Amino acid sequence: MYIAVLQRLIWSCLVLIAVDGLWASIYGHVRTSGGITLVSTLLVTAVIVAAIAVARREIAALFVACSRWIYVDSTAQFLIFCIVFGWTLRAAWVFGFRPLQVSDYAQYVSLAEGLIKYGTYDGGVSAYWPPGMALFLVPPIRILPDSTWAPVVNNLFLYGLLVVVTYILARLAAGKRVAQIASLLLAVWPNHVFATGLAMKELLIATLLPLAILLFAAPSITTRWSSHAARLAAGGCLGFAALTQPSTVLFPLVLVNYEVLSRRGLREATMRLLPVAIGLVIVISPWTVRNFFALHAFVPVSTNGAVVFLSANNPKATGGWIQMDYEKYRRGNELEGARMAYREAFDWIRANPVAFALLTVKKQVRFLQDDDAAAVTTLWLARGIKDYRLSTFVILSNVFWYAILVLVLVAALEHWVSSWRENPLILSLIVSVVYFFLIHSIFQSESKHHLNVIVSFAILAALAAKVRASPSISAGPAGTPSRK
């Protein structure tokens, strides 16, 4: 009984997030403030959502008609086409706008170059910056004569891997048609294309997390030995994700959720999750040991989470990045600075619970309101371009994002009451979205952060193609859904 309730709850969360995204896209772009604006945007959103709910089958039919040409019988041919086509779009973008790094992206490249040149990370006595992104940049920087192109090489590799992972994951979850639509959505996703020249950790996270889910879920139809090896690798992916973005350290809970929804017993689920935990510890522990010798304290990954938390929870906080004295908490004793930052943030939250709750809503708006982070960073922040080119690429990015939100809402409204609601793999993709939605309701939030779950959004949007005919789902080996 409780499994059915949990399934409904997860689908309800997806509906709420899709509706919240549509509202955020309206409210976030209204530059005025006040009760009238809030009420009016809520009313407009309610009308739009009601219209989508009524016309959801017609919207799905239009989506199916527009995507009918996508179907290719040969999987290999489709994947090659999708990868080459995506590479072509991304190559055109980076040759049109040569890679330039700003802010954290420049810092990751600098840390990687320092590691190559001096053999130490951030001076060897600091654990402020998570090491994952810098470590990932080291191989191309070593190989290429010009480190400018290192992020491009990495991102093109990640895109190719992402397409394959998305295709397999979507096919396991919902069949070949959804897999092809989701893969093509990734190929043309504007924000992902425009991020090709940037050393964005979100692109690495966006690949590692669905790969971990795939490695964990897919082995249930293979041999026991390969299943254990794959789950160990899944743990390794999650470990490197945590080294890249420490807020993902609790993402294994998504896999726990998968086991619960697959109705496995405690002993069986524990044996399946154990290799994941081992793989995660194997990857993270060397860095934790390094931090112990550097700081003489237990720091699993990094200390900058404290400052990030404070910047998102203080009297001047906006929900996103703000200008403040970040170095204040690094000068002297780094650990004491982190403790001070956490203490100040929690003191403010306890003293201002209403302001904190309102700030949470602002963070959710920032998380969902647009999808133009890469275009804005590449053109405006890195080059100072504010002309028609910026407007064009921003509009393209956001129109695509709004279409994705509409398709996700269509799929969520329909499948909330269909047999698809029982599919543990699809439910896990939804939970991964909920995970980051909640994380960035507390910590700093920007629209770039939903890139972490771009695969989930692509597959959930592609599910709109299944609105008219929801196939029956029967339990496959070890609870994995199979298609008839």
Among the ranges given (37-51, 164-178, 451-465), the one the predictor scored with the smallest mean pLDDT: 37-51
Write the CB contacts of 50 (distance below 8 Å, at least 6 apart in sequence). none
Could you tell me if 432 and 251 are in contact, meaning their C-beta atoms sit under 8 angstroms apart?
yes
- pLDDT (average), residues 59-84: 87
- Rounded distance, CA 425 to CA 308, Å? 32
- Rounded distance, CA 89 to CA 342, Å? 43
- How do strand 481-483 and strand 473-475 relate by DSSP bridges? antiparallel
Q: Which amino acid, one-letter code, is at 189?
A: W
Q: Which ranges of 245-381 does DSSP label H, i.e. alpha helix?
A: 252-261, 266-295, 305-312, 334-351, 353-368, 373-375
pLDDT for 330 equals: 72
What tokens does 282 get? 């194997």
Domain ranges of the chain: 2-483
- With 0-12 / 13-18 / 19 or more C-beta atoms within 10 angstroms meaning exposed / middle / buried, residue 321 is middle
Strand-pairing partners, residue 267, are none
Give the residue, 442 or 483, on which the prediction is more confident: 442
CA gyration radius, the chain: 22
- pLDDT (average), residues 132-151: 94
- pLDDT (average), residues 79-100: 95
pLDDT band at 223 (very low <50, low <70, confident <90, very high): low
pLDDT band at 475 (very low <50, low <70, confident <90, very high): very low
Which CA distances in Å does 48 have to 13, 22, 175, 370, 396?
18, 9, 30, 17, 21
What tokens does 295 get? 């700081």
pLDDT for 410 equals: 93
pTM of the entire predicted model: 0.91
pLDDT band at 123 (very low <50, low <70, confident <90, very high): confident
pLDDT more than 90, % of the chain: 60
Q: Is the pLDDT of residue 478 over 90?
A: no
Among the ranges given (88-92, 296-300, 347-351), the one the predictor scored with the smallest mean pLDDT: 296-300
What tokens does 236 get? 């390794």
pLDDT tens by residue, 371-424: 999 999 999 999 999 999 999 999 999 999 999 999 999 999 888 766 667 789
Write the CB contacts of 355 (distance below 8 Å, at least 6 apart in sequence). none
pLDDT more than 70, % of the chain: 92
Q: Which helix (H) or strand (E) holds 413?
A: helix 388-415
pLDDT for 469 equals: 43
Torsion sign (Cα): 139, 169, 205, 72? positive
Torsion sign (Cα): 160, 205, 446, 374? negative
Could you tell me if 232 and 276 are in contact, meaning their C-beta atoms sit under 8 angstroms apart?
yes
pLDDT tens by residue, 241-279: 999 999 999 999 999 999 999 888 889 899 999 999 999
DSSP, res 248 = G
pLDDT for 154 equals: 96
pLDDT tens by residue, 276-294: 999 999 999 999 999 998 8
Q: Is the pLDDT of residue 221 over 70?
A: no
What tokens does 233 get? 């690798």
Q: What is the mean pLDDT of the chain?
A: 88
Q: Is the pLDDT of residue 56 over 60?
A: yes
- pLDDT (average), residues 179-198: 96
Q: Is the pLDDT of residue 32 over 90?
A: no
Q: Is the pLDDT of residue 31 over 60?
A: no
- pLDDT (average), residues 466-484: 43
pLDDT for 219 equals: 64
pLDDT for 417 equals: 67
pLDDT for 3 equals: 86
pLDDT for 115 equals: 92
Measured in whole angstroms, the distance separating CA 333 from the mean position of its chain's CA atoms is 33
For 473, the 3-state DSSP assignment is strand
